[in-house]
Structure 1
Amino acid sequence: MAAPNFLLIGAAKSGTTSIYKYLQQHPQIFLPPKPEQRFFLMEGKHGPFTRPGNINAGRQIVTNWPAYQAVFQGVTSETAIGEGSNDYLWGPGAAGRIYEYLPTIKLIAILRHPVERAYSEYWMRRRDRGFESLTFTKAIQAEMSELEQPWQLWSRYYLRGGFYYRHLTPFLNLFERDQLKIYLFDDLKQQPLAIIKDMYRFLGVEPDFQPNLAVWQNRGGQPQPERLYWLLSEWQRRMPSTGSIRHPFMLMERLKRRCLINPPSIPPALREMMLAHYRVETLNLQLVLQRDLSHWLS
């Protein structure tokens, strides 16, 4: 049975869904139809893994090695075989389990301004009815009381999700540096084709393949009106996303996008508090990446 030779490990709301779709287009790359198998976090655990507002969430989670290998049974002639689970970046023990099973694997991470990433994830959760009901300020305050608690599936990880240096440290300690490619979301937005081609080279596939970059996946925003967005989402979940009757699914997707508006700005005092929490993390990350991240400090 096949096993992956690369993983897309996060971070959530940093372009990983788009990257997944772009990599999927390459004929030499195999990725499962849907991401988030989460095996290296959920091994040995027992479901169901549904979450508030979305009964379909967590259905692709696998918890044992034979089931994980079965995810890749569709591999034919592809040479780069992978999967993507954003929680691998910050989930406890994930780096160690990955190393135990796949010590020579290649890893890809994409990082975004931590405050902007947190706010984007907040609105993603608000778009799932019942998943997040607090204001952003109150949600951060609630998370602040849980900072020392370990990661749990579906737990709030807005603030903690941006502690990139501490999340990357286990990977840097276990894997050779040339096994881990770290990209920035800003670079992906400004020069997506160059980033994708660099990933192709990293994965050892034909770098001149031209993917369709026309659609940015999983676009964020504030649902308005919120109840209509939830209703459209519920209808869409009941529709097949592939096959000959895919058209209604895509129509619902377009209607949902029309319900999204730009969210309000983060309250200045809250933004400053979050930046203060990230300051040391960002300075340490600069040293790892050898990149100027001063724009992440404001």
Structure 2
Amino acid sequence: MREPNFIIIGGMNTGTTSLHKYLSYHDDIFMSNPKELDFFNQSKNYNKGVDFYKSYFNTTRKVAGECSPNYTKGNSDEVAERIFRTLPNVKLIYIVRNPVDRFLSQCRFHNLDPDYLCNDYFGDKEFPFDVMISGMYGLHYERFIKYFNKEQILVINHNSLLNERIDTMNLVFNFLKVEKKNYDFSKINFKEHNLKTKELPSKFVVYLNKLTVYNFLKKHLNNDNFLKSAYHALMYSKPQKKQFDEKLKPKVYNHFKNDIEKFELLTNMNFKDWKI
């Protein structure tokens, strides 16, 4: 068992699955399985102790890491402190994306209608979860630099990972101090991990996730290939892209405007393409 050298801390719906997969192709890098350990944000996991966490990194490779986008959500202040207490020298990778686009992507991921959701969010209705919090990059970054030096945190723009993949991966390799010569760049295929080609949980699955019987059924159905296929066909569907009222975009953007400015100031980076 060993400690990880780095953690991808988020954000949700920014390309973390792609980066996790890309890094796993490197001969010197070990990525945790499962991808999202959720150790530092869930007390039920954190209370099991650091040896439980280390058990996911049983490798002799030079570098080991994990990827939990939930580390940059509502309780990121507590998460940052927990990570620092456990791994003060760990390196952190933070992928960020235009927060309006990220919001739409999360709506799609959860099969939510962005128009209704947006109107409800800025209205009087209570929300079951905060679809905006993962896009508050300035908030989360400020919480992490209370404990970590800025040199320990690599910020990656989602557009760079999407459109300048090789240069971005070389930037990550330099940050992790691994040789790029040990990497087969031909393995990188963004479409493999693009949300447009993913099968997402149906609304039925979202509902069943709340039921205890769901985990029982899933456990036993997965032991039979035929039943597993039937289960998958019933539970999952290709994501349907819902149209978003463009007139609502300024309202969503205004929710993030001050946070974007804070994030630019803290990171000395420019995100002018996010602005309306």
Q: Using the alignment, how far apart are the partners of 2:26 and 2:126 within structure 1?
A: 41
1:45-56 alignment runs, 5 A limit? 45=44
Query: Which consecutive unaligned segments of at least 5 residues does structure 2 have?
Result: 206-213
Residue 188 in 1 paired to residue 188 in 2?
no
1:176 paired residue number = 149
Percent identity between matched residues is 24
Query: What SS does the corresponding residue of 1:39 show, helix, strand or coil?
Result: coil
Q: Using the alignment, how far apart are the partners of 1:156 and 1:265 within structure 2?
A: 22
CA contact under 8 A between 1:123 and 1:221: conserved in structure 2? no
Kindly state the Cα deviation for residue 89 of structure 1 after the two structures are TM-superposed: 1.6
1:135 paired residue number = 113
Q: 1:220 aligns with which of 181, 195, 207?
A: 195
CA contact under 8 A between 2:38 and 2:71: conserved in structure 1? yes
Query: What SS does the corresponding residue of 1:174 show, helix, strand or coil?
Result: coil
CA contact under 8 A between 1:140 and 1:158: conserved in structure 2? no
CA contact under 8 A between 2:114 and 2:242: conserved in structure 1? no
1:34 paired residue number = 34
1:93-242 alignment runs, 5 A limit? 93-126=78-111, 134-144=112-122, 156-208=129-181, 209-211=183-185, 212-221=187-196
Cα deviations by residue, 1:34-55 (Å, 9 ceiling, x for unpaired): 2111111113x2xxxxxxxxxx
Q: 2:255 aligns with which of 274, 277, 288?
A: 277
TM-score where L is the length of structure 2: 0.79
Q: Using the alignment, how far apart are the partners of 1:67 and 1:119 within structure 2?
A: 35
Cα 1:221–1:270 shift into 2, 3 Å: farther
CA RMSD in angstroms comes to 3.4
2:9 paired residue number = 9
Q: Using the alignment, how far apart are the partners of 1:91 and 1:64 within structure 2?
A: 22
Q: Using the alignment, how far apart are the partners of 1:267 and 1:217 within structure 2?
A: 29
Cα 1:197–1:239 shift into 2, 3 Å: farther
Cα deviations by residue, 1:75-104 (Å, 9 ceiling, x for unpaired): 12x121111100112241100100010111
Q: Using the alignment, how far apart are the partners of 1:112 and 1:205 within structure 2?
A: 26
CA contact under 8 A between 2:33 and 2:56: conserved in structure 1? no
Q: Which letter does structure 2 place at the counterpart of 1:32?
A: S
CA contact under 8 A between 1:166 and 1:281: conserved in structure 2? yes
Cα 1:103–1:214 shift into 2, 3 Å: same
Q: Which letter does structure 2 place at the counterpart of 1:84?
A: C
Cα 1:277–1:214 shift into 2, 3 Å: same
Kindly state the Cα deviation for residue 210 of structure 1 after the two structures are TM-superposed: 2.4
Query: What SS does the corresponding residue of 2:93 show, helix, strand or coil?
Result: strand
Q: Using the alignment, how far apart are the partners of 2:34 and 2:204 within structure 1?
A: 23
Q: Using the alignment, how far apart are the partners of 1:10 and 1:95 within structure 2?
A: 12
Query: What SS does the corresponding residue of 1:292 show, helix, strand or coil?
Result: coil
Q: Using the alignment, how far apart are the partners of 1:148 and 1:201 within structure 2?
A: 45
1:67 paired residue number = 52
1:268 paired residue number = 246
Q: Using the alignment, how far apart are the partners of 2:203 and 2:6 within structure 1?
A: 39
Kindly state the Cα deviation for residue 269 of structure 1 after the two structures are TM-superposed: 2.9
Q: Using the alignment, how far apart are the partners of 2:48 and 2:121 within structure 1?
A: 31
CA contact under 8 A between 1:10 and 1:85: conserved in structure 2? yes
Q: Which letter does structure 2 place at the counterpart of 1:274?
A: V
Query: Which consecutive unaligned segments of at least 5 residues does structure 1 have?
Result: 46-60, 127-133, 150-154
CA contact under 8 A between 1:223 and 1:229: conserved in structure 2? no
Cα deviations by residue, 1:244-272 (Å, 9 ceiling, x for unpaired): x9xx98xx89xx88x445x2442123211
Q: 2:71 aligns with which of 88, 93, 99?
A: 88
Cα deviations by residue, 1:171-211 (Å, 9 ceiling, x for unpaired): 11210111000010011111111111111111111123224
